[in-house]
Amino acid sequence: MRTPIELPDHRGLICGFLLRPQLPPQPLEWEALTAEFATADRLIWLHFNLADVRARTWIASCEYIPEVAREMLLDSEPHIQLESLKDGFVGILGDLHYQFDAEPDSLGLVRIYLDRGCMISVRGRPLKATDRLRIALLHGEQIETSIDLLVHLLEYMTEIFSSVTIDIREVVDEIEDQLLKGNFQDKRGEIGTARRSLARLRRHLTGNRQALSQRLIPRLPAWCREIDVSELRRNLERLDAVIQDLELVQERARLLQEEIAGQLQETVNQNLYMLSIVTTIFLPITLVTGVFGMNVGGVPWTQEPVGFWLAILTMVATLSITLFLLRRQQLF
């Protein structure tokens, strides 16, 4: 008899951790949330799945979260943004879906509320950066403050975007190698996909950078430590470096697409040129056969025994004159 497998029901809570300085993270279950929120001097990270209606219900009814933050966490607004609150902030940051496949639709969003005692994040589909943070905490990564927790999340985001940029750069390098070898007929679709992915990644990265530099760092709460601010600025510098690398790859992809289009146009022009030469060569012969094929009286050599060969000789002479004139004009 098979042993039944019991699947745990987390009610939309993907993971929860109780974080204490100098101590390994402690996983939190759904039943312990109310008690931990009532405890002072604690740091909690909760990560919810918005596809579960129970998670949406809990967030909508949680009095600990400000109303403005609850609305943004549950909203479907797709734009990256950060808004300052009295003791923290709430916002939307760009991330990658867990099964990223270099398609523009593989880019996702994570919604975050953060204050001194907790960080609450929600997503609709599995995301890479939040999953890396979850795994790091499961392996004992120590977190001291909520801003430190956010810094770790941003670091994972930057690493992931950098890795994807490198992958797309390798694709562009391969296309460039094939283009130098003359194999460009089947590369238009690949370079087009790469450019679309780069454009979407750039919008995500630029949105994250603007949100951090313009909305978060200048308006950090008073309880933030100086070291946390320094880490945020350092992460912003790394994000700038990734954006610069991405822009270079984007420019290379644009130039390659223009080169492919130019070579395809050159190939078309060469084919049309050869077709024009062949048409020019056979046009006089066509004229001769048309004249001798007219069903009227007076056509020469109709009564001559060698009339056929005289007509052939006329076409050969006409062809020879045409080839001589084309060669003299250096048209081929």
Same fold? 13-264, 272-328: no
pLDDT for res 102: 46
pLDDT for res 10: 62
pLDDT for res 329: 76
Q: What is the full per-residue pLDDT of the chain (332 aa) written as tens digits?
A: 344 333 355 668 999 999 988 888 999 888 777 777 767 678 999 999 998 898 999 899 988 899 999 999 998 888 899 998 888 999 999 988 876 454 544 678 999 999 999 999 999 888 999 999 999 999 999 998 999 999 999 999 999 999 999 999 998 998 888 888 777 767 777 888 888 888 888 988 999 999 999 888 888 888 888 898 899 999 999 999 999 999 999 999 988 888 888 888 888 888 888 888 888 878 887 877 777 777 777 777 777 777 778 778 888 888 788 878 777 777 76
pLDDT for res 191: 85
The CATH T-level fold of domain 272-328 is Methane Monooxygenase Hydroxylase; Chain G, domain 1 (1.20.58)
CA distances from 187 to 166, 194, 269 (A): 19, 11, 19
Q: How many CB atoms lie within 10 A of CB 267?
A: 12
The amino acid sitting at 16 is: G
pLDDT for res 104: 45
pLDDT for res 248: 93
Please tell me the CATH code under which domain 13-264 is placed.
Answer: 3.30.460.20
The domain spans of the chain are: 13-264, 272-328
In tens, the pLDDT along 57-75 reads 989 998 889 999 999 999 8
- Residue 16 contacts residue 35 (beta carbons within 8 Å): no
- Residue 248 contacts residue 168 (beta carbons within 8 Å): no
**Mean per-residue pLDDT over the chain, rounded:** 84
- Residue 44 contacts residue 28 (beta carbons within 8 Å): yes
In tens, the pLDDT along 114-160 reads 999 999 999 988 899 999 999 999 999 999 899 999 999 999 999 99
